[in-house]
């Protein structure tokens, strides 16, 4: 027999529900008002109006091109987008101040963690303080070790000969119709490479419920939708949609679910193969945080994203620029040809030879200057501060440095800043880095400088030298403007199709 609830009790439940909804409603209205006041969402300055109405798109292909224009026009190299509450700077003195001098006042901050929290969790890209210090120490021990460096080089060379060169050869053998999507090819290559380097695993040993292409698509979706969260003028809207499981937030949740399956399988396999005597990054972390699978999942995702997207984006941008500058390819081939022929059986340049290729290094730096994989990066100001150029930044303001715009500033690189000229990095034939790392924050700089910089440079140079010495790669952009998809690293909308042909006879590199 079911006992009926007394009338008074039902009333209490109803009252409680009503009170709850009133409270939530009042909270939402109050938060909106606060946001309106703080962000000046009604702002009618021409920049904010252009942002809100997307009218900038009439003149520029991408938001980063529009921001570059605004930053070039600004006397200080700094602008503020009121509706986003975002101070954007391309001024090297400001960049040094936020990344180094006043590092503690410009952490990633809670708003950033909220935007990327579902995807990156507590991974190194998304945390500050002790949790960041711990992961940075572990990762720099792993990535800095001589053993890991030489293992990484062998892995990269192996992936080049196993995957990249056969794919390009079979494409070239198709004759005139031999076309490949460079972006897709480099993503597949760098994904496999980072799986081996960071987790000591071969793609073939992973027992996955869906094809790898689905994981790749899930990464792209999650990166795109997380970036859209970061560009929202009213974060409350995506937060509400997330709470209710609606629209793009539902899509993001699904994509993250797929990514989680991959991360879980990576952890399972690493555990199965044993991690006590393995030197890969994941094994090192497992030695310290074994049992905390959620934390290990966050670490796996961060390194997959770092290793796949940024390197693939850098390589794609490089071949786009190279295709437009055949003189640079000729100069690179000349340098490659001067290297002594003490190569291994497969004709790859050795680690030391790659280091000696100053022109190639200069060409890579130059392409990353014009097409940086991470186009901009934000921090949040903890306490009121004043940047070196005199810009006031209030507590909780988002402050963004913009490598894409910085690569196009005449004040930093001179009037020929828009040209692709590897020579600007050379003095008497030797590669010379920028006099201040804050003029070129492509790998960030200061206390959170990219930990994979050496690895990324080695990987990119090894790939480039192998391809350039064997093939001609002609990008089929057909004069179409370069459009980027929103994402955590630069992704070309529609990929980058290229025709591949063998260079006369195969030359050894
Ligand atoms: C061309 C390739 C690459 C570029 C342009 C690049 C650029 C960057 C940038 C701009 C950051 C700062 C991001 C932020 O704080 O939000 C960063 C951080 C980082 N990168 Fe890279 N990266 C590249 C490749 C790699 C690779 C291959 C790895 C390693 C597997 C790696 C590992 C990391 C790590 C661990 C951090 C976090 C550092 C910290 O927060 O202390 N990166 N990278």
Per-residue pLDDT of 218-274, as tens digits, reads 988 998 999 899 888 888 899 999 999 999 999 999 999 999 999 999 999 998 888
For residues 442 and 368, what is the distance between their CA atoms, to the nearest angstrom?
Answer: 7
Residue 10 has pLDDT above 60, yes or no: no
More confident residue, 345 or 106: 106
Q: What single-letter DSSP state applies at residue 444?
A: B
Which atom belonging to ligand 1 lies closest to the Cα atom of 281? 30
Give Cα 286 distance to the centre of its chain.
25
CATH number at residue 191: 1.10.630.10
Measured from the CB, is residue 456 less than 6 Å from ligand 1? yes
Would 6 be classed as within a structural domain? Answer: no
**Looking at the predicted structure, is the pLDDT value of residue 39 above 70?**
no
Contact present, 395 and 386 (Cβ < 8 Å): no
Q: Which of 302, 313, 351 is nearest to 462 (CA)?
A: 351
Give the range of the structural domain holding residue 183, as residue numbers without chain letter: 33-502
Residue 223 maps to a domain: yes
Number of domains making up the chain: 1
Q: Reduce the DSSP state of residue 393 to 3 states and report it.
A: strand
Average pLDDT, the chain: 88
For residue 59, give the 3-state DSSP assignment.
coil
Looking at residue 38, its pLDDT comes to 57
Residue 193 lies in a domain: yes
Q: How confident is the model at residue 505 (pLDDT cuts 50, 70, 90)?
A: very low
Top pLDDT among 112 and 106 is at 106
CB 436 within 8 A of CB 96: yes
Q: Tell which wins on pLDDT, 506 or 355.
A: 355
Cα dihedral angle (97, 100, 104, 107), rounded to 10 degrees?
90
CA 225, CA 488: separation in Å to the nearest integer? 9
Evaluated on CA atoms 192, 195, 198, 199, the torsion sign reads negative
188 lines ligand 1 (CB under 6 A): no
- Tokens in use for 504? 């006369």
Residues 333, 176, 185, CA angle at the centre, nearest 5°? 65
Provide the pLDDT for residue 210. Answer: 78
Bridge-based pairing state of the strands 484-485 and 491-492: antiparallel
Residue 145 has pLDDT above 70, yes or no: yes
Name every residue whose Cβ is closer than 8 Å to that of residue 368 and which is 6 or more positions away in sequence: 314, 317, 318, 442
pLDDT of residue 4 exceeding 50, the answer is no
Q: Pocket of ligand 1, candidates 306, 365, 401: which has the most ligand atoms within 8 Å of its Cβ, to mutate?
A: 306
pLDDT at 441: 98
311 near 164, Cβ under 8 Å? no
| Residue 91 counted as domain residue | yes
Hey, what are 109's tokens? 């901050």
Q: When comparing pLDDT for 448 and 17, which is higher?
A: 448
Structure tokens at 385: 């501060």
Residues in the chain: 509
Mutate to test the pocket of ligand 1, among 109, 152, 310, 402 (most ligand atoms within 8 A of CB): 310
* Plot region of 504 (φ>0 → left; ψ -120 to 50 → alpha; else → beta): left
Helix (H) or strand (E) holding 132: helix 129-144
Residue 442 DSSP class: B
If one compares 508 and 274, the residue with the highest pLDDT of the two is 274
CA within 13 Å, CB half, 386 = 3
pLDDT for res 16: 66
pLDDT band at 28 (very low <50, low <70, confident <90, very high): low
Report the pLDDT value the prediction gives residue 5, as an integer from 0 to 100. 45
Region 461-484 average pLDDT: 92
Looking at the domain assignment, is residue 21 inside a domain? Answer: no
Q: Is 437 in the pocket of ligand 1 (CB under 6 A)?
A: no
What's the token pair of residue 61?
């292909």
Q: Please say if the pLDDT value at position 509 is more than 50.
A: no
398 forms beta bridges with 86, 380
Share of the chain above pLDDT 70, in %: 89
- pLDDT tier at 346, thresholds 50, 70, 90: low
The dihedrals phi and psi of 217, each to the nearest 5 degrees, come to -65, -40
Question: Is the residue at 1 inside a domain?
Answer: no
CA-closest candidate to residue 297, choices 52, 390, 305: 305
**Per-residue model confidence (pLDDT) at position 162:** 92
157, pLDDT greater than 70: yes
**Ligand 1 pocket, residue 225 CB under 6 Å:** no
pLDDT recorded at residue 2 = 39
Residue 126 lies inside a defined structural domain of this protein: yes
Copy the structure tokens of residue 197.
């380097």
Mean pLDDT of 394-415: 97
d(CA 308, CA 190): 5
pLDDT at 11 over 70: no
* Percentages of the chain per state (helix, strand, coil), in multiples of 5: 60, 10, 30
pLDDT value of residue 345: 47
Which of the pair, 450 or 289, is modelled with greater confidence? Answer: 450
Q: Give the residue with greater pLDDT, 186 vs 478.
A: 186
The answer, yes or no, to whether residue 174 has pLDDT greater than 60, is yes
Most confident of the following: 100-109, 170-179, 283-292, 470-479? 100-109
With a 6 A CB cut-off, is 306 part of the ligand 1 pocket? yes
pLDDT for 284 beyond 60: yes
Count of Cβ atoms closer than 10 Å to residue 161 Cβ: 14
Q: At what angle do helices 311-324 and 358-370 cross, to 10 degrees?
A: 100
pLDDT, residue 30, reads 59
In a domain, 341, yes or no: yes
- Residue 212 near residue 203, CB atoms below 8 Å: yes
Cβ(318) – ligand 1 distance below 6 Å: no
**Highest mean pLDDT, choosing among 5-19, 188-202, 343-357, 455-469:** 455-469
pLDDT for the residue 340:
62
CA of 329 to the centre of ligand 1 (A): 27
Task: With residue 386 as reference, give the H or E element that holds it.
Answer: strand 385-386
The three-class DSSP label of residue 441 is: coil
User: In the prediction, which pLDDT does 33 show?
Assistant: 56
- pLDDT at residue 175 tops 60: yes
> Is the model's pLDDT at 131 over the cut of 70?
yes
Residues 287 and 157: their CA atoms lie apart, in Å, by: 28
pLDDT(146) > 60:
yes
Q: Which atom of ligand 1 is nearest to the CA of 444?
A: 10
Is 60 exceeded by the pLDDT of residue 506?
A: no
């Amino acid at each position: 027999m079911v006992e009926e609830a007394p009338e008074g009790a039902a009333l209490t439940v109803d009252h409680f529900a009503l009170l709850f909804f009133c409270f939530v409603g009042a909270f939402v209205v109050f938060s909106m008002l606060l946001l309106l006041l703080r962000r000046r969402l009604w702002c009618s300055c021409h920049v904010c109006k252009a942002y809100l109405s997307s009218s900038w798109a009439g003149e520029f292909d991408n938001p980063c091109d529009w921001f570059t224009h605004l930053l070039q026009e600004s006397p200080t190299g700094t602008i503020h987008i009121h509706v986003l509450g975002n101070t954007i700077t391309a001024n090297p003195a400001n960049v040094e101040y936020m990344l180094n001098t006043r590092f503690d006042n410009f952490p990633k901050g809670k708003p950033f963690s909220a935007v990327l929290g579902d995807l990156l969790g507590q991974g190194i890209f998304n945390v500050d303080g002790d949790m960041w210090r711990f992961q940075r120490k572990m990762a720099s021990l792993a990535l800095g070790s001589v053993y890991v460096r030489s293992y990484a080089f062998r892995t990269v060379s192996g992936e080049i000969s196993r995957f990249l060169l056969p794919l390009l050869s079979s494409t070239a053998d198709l004759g005139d119709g031999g076309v490949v999507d460079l972006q897709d090819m480099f993503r597949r290559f760098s994904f496999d490479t980072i799986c081996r380097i960071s987790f000591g695993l071969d793609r073939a040993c992973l027992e996955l419920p869906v094809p790898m292409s689905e994981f790749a698509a899930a990464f792209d979706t999650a990166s795109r939708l997380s970036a859209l969260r970061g560009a929202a003028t009213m974060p409350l809207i995506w937060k509400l949609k997330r709470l209710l499981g609606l629209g793009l937030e539902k899509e993001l949740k699904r994509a993250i679910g797929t990514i989680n399956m991959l991360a879980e399988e990576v952890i399972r396999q690493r555990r199965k193969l044993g991690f006590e005597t393995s030197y890969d990054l994941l094994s090192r972390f497992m030695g310290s945080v074994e049992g905390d699978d959620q934390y290990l999942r966050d670490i796996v995702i961060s390194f997959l994203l770092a290793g796949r997207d940024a390197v693939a984006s850098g390589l794609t941008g490089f071949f786009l620029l190279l295709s437009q500058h055949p003189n640079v390819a000729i100069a690179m081939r000349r340098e490659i040809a001067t290297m002594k022929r003490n190569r291994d059986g497969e004709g790859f340049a050795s680690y030391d030879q790659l280091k000696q290729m100053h022109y190639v290094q200069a060409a890579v730096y130059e392409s990353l200057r014009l097409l940086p994989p991470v186009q901009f990066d934000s921090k949040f100001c903890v306490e009121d501060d004043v940047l070196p150029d005199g810009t006031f930044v209030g507590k909780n303001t988002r402050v963004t440095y913009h490598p894409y715009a910085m690569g196009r500033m005449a004040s930093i690189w001179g009037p020929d800043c828009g040209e692709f000229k590897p020579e600007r990095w050379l003095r008497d034939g030797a590669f010379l880095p920028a006099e201040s790392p804050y003029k070129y924050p492509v790998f960030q700089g200061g206390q959170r400088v990219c930990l994979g910089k050496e690895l990324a440079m080695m990987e990119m140079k090894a790939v480039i030298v192998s391809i350039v010495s064997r093939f001609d790669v002609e990008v089929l952009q057909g004069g179409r403007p370069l459009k980027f998809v929103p994402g955590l690293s630069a992704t070309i909308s529609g990929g980058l199709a290229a025709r591949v042909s063998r260079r006369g006879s195969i030359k050894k590199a």
